[in-house]
Amino acid sequence: MAVVRSLPRHARLTLWSRLNMPRTFTVKPLGWSVLAASVALLAIFGINRAVDDVRVASKPIVAAVFPNTGAAAVKPPQRVQFVLVAPEAKKVAVVGDFNGWDASHASYQAQHRGGGVWAVTAPVPIGHHRYSFVVDDSVWVTDPMAPRVADNDYGVANSAIVVEEQK
């Protein structure tokens, strides 16, 4: 014990010296490989997501700044009139891929114009869309004025519409 006491005391370690002090790490290749792969995955998904976010967020800005260039690809939805003759109906709504097939969507509720004619004029994005009428919340009816798309998946056909930019 006397020998130990005779040894010089260690200098008190400061935070700086602790940070600078060389250390030895033991590395297990498997565990650290998994960790490295996970970090790489995080980085890839994070970057992809960030790029997507920037792209989406910048579209309207780019379109506004460069309205006459290809950057103006973001075109506003066009007003499309949907008409169905359904004399017995109590309620008619339009559902389609432009409103998430949501029959309760307020903008796509047809109004009775008299004589069994139901109509609604609603915004539809430019492009190819599938849609249908829903009568009385239960009966799916294709648009008799539009091309029909057979549906072998759900057994109820839809109508197709190609909306173009109005000139």
Partner 1 sequence: MRVAAVAGVAISLVVARVSSAQDARLAARLDKPTLVAVNAIVDSARISKLPTEPLVDKALEGAAKGSEGANIVSAVHQLSLRMGSAKRVLGPASTPDEIKAAASAIGVGVSDRDLARLRAAAGKHQVTLPLAVLTDLIDRNVPIETATNLVLQLARAGVKDPDLALFQRNVRADIDRGADPTVAATTRARGLVLRGAPSKPAE
Nearer to partner 1 among residue 62 and residue 160 (C-beta): 160
Amino acid type, 127: G
Shortest distance (Å) from residue 38 CB to partner 1: 3
Nearer to partner 1 among residue 13 and residue 41 (C-beta): 41
Q: What share of the chain is helix, strand, coil (3-state, %, to 5)?
A: 35, 30, 40
Nearer to partner 1 among residue 16 and residue 154 (C-beta): 154
Which DSSP letter does residue 131 get?
E
Q: Which two tokens stand for residue 27?
A: 């590395």
Give residue for tokens 């989406």: 56
Nearer to partner 1 among residue 5 and residue 167 (C-beta): 167
Nearer to partner 1 among residue 8 and residue 31 (C-beta): 31
Give residue for tokens 């498997």: 30
| Contact footprint for partner 1 (CB under 8 A) | 28, 31-32, 34-35, 38-39, 41-42, 45-46, 49, 95, 97, 100-103, 127-128, 130, 140, 144-145, 147-150, 152-154, 156-158, 160, 162, 164
Closest CA to 71 of 82, 57, 60: 60
Burial category of 59 from C-beta neighbours within 10 Å (exposed 0-12, middle 13-18, buried 19 and up) = middle
Q: Which two tokens stand for residue 47?
A: 């970057």
Shortest distance (Å) from residue 18 CB to partner 1: 20
Shortest distance (Å) from residue 71 CB to partner 1: 17
First to last CA, the chain: 98
